[in-house]
Amino acid sequence: MKPILFIWIPKAAGTSIWEALKSAVGDGNSQYLRIAGGDKFDPTRQLTTFLHSSIAALMEHGTVTPAWIKSRYIIASRRNSWDRLVSLYHYFRRHVTLKLRLGTFSDFVGRLSKEGVPPIALYNYRGYSQANSQTSWLDEIHLNFVARFENLQEDWKDLCKQLKIDQALPHLNKSEHGPYREYYTMALRKAVAKVYRSEIEKYDYEF
């Protein structure tokens, strides 16, 4: 199996996919890295993720080289924009260590609309950086496989065939909330459509 680089987009089944891939490659063959936090990179590992960091920033920093990137089978996953944002909101609420001013879901959407978010970079997160458009991660690099959250089990089966592995996909780190559509007024729906216009248009997402 070709060595794997997993591009971890927040709240798009990343934990489930990572744990399944880690089980497939075996103990001691994976690395889960926060480079800005001082983690040391081993270019020989079979499976690597830099969590929510920017690959372009990692290359500029000298952590990885274009040759190393080219030698990897690169995997990511993506999720409907409106659905993902509800999940992110609840994730932020659970993680008080992030020290974010959330308020209601409406407050949260309003803040994203008015203030924007820090760009993805060498750090794992900064403020609301995990709320960047998914294209911030997906457009940085050529991807060999992108799983769709809405079709996750079938896409996982296809990925397993390509990787020649037999591995079940768990359902981990699930946010507890109701159907995402229940969180939206028409105004909030339009606000999110504006914030995430690039990914909605690119992937034909619908509310």
Write down the pLDDT at residue 117: 93
Q: Residue 97 has what pLDDT?
A: 61
The vertex-101 CA angle with 8 and 103, nearest 5°, equals: 105
Tens of pLDDT along 3-29? 999 999 999 999 999 999 999 999 899
* Angle separating helix axes 81-94 and 105-115, nearest 10 degrees: 110
Domain harbouring 116, CATH code: 3.40.50.300
Range of the domain at 174: 4-203
78, 104, 172, 195 from 205: Cα distances, Å: 11, 24, 24, 13
Res 37: pLDDT? 85
pTM of the model: 0.94
- DSSP-assigned letters across all residues of 131-164: GS-THHHHTSS--SEEEEGGGHHHHHHHHHHHHT
Number of domains composing the chain:
1
